[in-house]
Amino acid sequence: MRRFVRENSLSLFFLGLFVLALAGQSIAGYHLYNQEQMEHEGPTIDYARYLLSSDFGANVLENWQSEWLQFWLFALATVWLYQKGSNESKTEENLGLETDEEQRVGAHAPKDAPRWARLRDWRLTVYSYSFTIVMGVIFLATWLGQSLASWSLLNDELVQHGEPEISWGTYQHGEPEISWGTYVTSPDFWDRSLQNWQSEFLAVGTMAVFTIYLRQRGSPESKPVGAPHTETGSSG
């Protein structure tokens, strides 16, 4: 067990932080939701029901989908794009998909390489792009989940407040509900999405630039402390 923890300490550390943060968010969100319900003379709910609610689902998935989008685009962008001096960039001469020898696949794969990396058929192609495929699928799944949760949340609020109409939707009398297709083209949905996307894009961009000039001794996310600012793609 001790060896397992040591060999997986980085992922276990962030998994632990994730669980604590998610639990804290759920508790804070639960109290906030019931507080707002009481302010509007609406019914309150218990904690278990809140965890299954559209309110909690929308708040969680809004952030998840932006994180996966960030990783997905960054993995794709760093294949072809270059930032001189950045630890987050490849060197200029290594831009692109690289040769089979450089990627150690097919005939150039070592004996302990993953099985699909030693093949020469469609499985090698799939494995060669498996990271971005999985990241893209997770992003699309969380984006869809967020859109459905936010759509359900909005319709619940409209029913609760008895709103007869809004400028981008039409309603039957007594049934204030809009379709999912209408919602995903609405200002509310894109405001929720873009406020998260822009922060992620800013964070990634500044990370690439900060690693040119700033250092963290011993971290693979930083160049060696004494490395010149122009040195690209090295790790400390």
Give the pLDDT score at 49.
Answer: 94
Name the DSSP letter for residue 220.
T
For residues 100-124, one letter each, b for 16 or more C-beta atoms within 10 angstroms of the residue's C-beta and e for the rest, the string is beeeebeeebeeeeeebbbbeeeeb
The yes-or-no verdict on residue 215 having pLDDT over 50 is yes
Helix (H, G, I), strand (E, B) or coil at 172: strand
**Mean pLDDT in residue range 76-97:** 92
CA dihedral 76, 80, 83, 89 (to 10 degrees): 60
Burial class of residue 203, CB neighbours in 10 A (0-12, 13-18, 19+): exposed
The share of the chain scoring above pLDDT 70, in percent, equals 92
List pLDDT tens digits, range 150-189.
888 888 777 666 554 444 444 444 444 688 888 889 888 8
Quick check: 146 pLDDT over 50? yes
Q: Please report the pLDDT score of residue 24 as a whole number.
A: 96
Amino acid, single-letter form, for residue 3: R
Give the tens place of pLDDT for each residue, 99-113: 999 999 999 999 999
What is the pLDDT of the chain when averaged over all its residues? Answer: 88
Q: How far apart are the first and last CA of the chain?
A: 29
What integer pLDDT is reported at residue 168 of this predicted model? 42
Q: For position 46, what pLDDT does the model report?
A: 93
Q: How far apart are CA 90 and CA 190, in angstroms?
A: 33
How high is the pLDDT of residue 163? Answer: 54
> In the prediction, which pLDDT does 162 show?
59
Q: Cα(200)–Cα(72) distance, rounded to whole angstroms? A: 12
What mean pLDDT do residues 54-58 have?
91
Q: Output the six-digit token pair for 91.
A: 């060197």
User: What pLDDT does residue 166 have?
Assistant: 44
Q: How many CB atoms lie within 10 A of CB 141?
A: 14
Res. 223: pLDDT tops 50: yes
Q: Of 67-76, 126-135, 186-195, 198-207, which range is least confident?
A: 186-195
Q: Angle at Cα 34 formed by Cα 148 and Cα 17, nearest 5°?
A: 70
Rounded Cα–Cα distance for residues 95 and 81 (Å): 7
pLDDT beyond 90 at 34 = yes
Domain assignments of the chain as residue spans, ordered by start: 1-52, 54-93+136-236
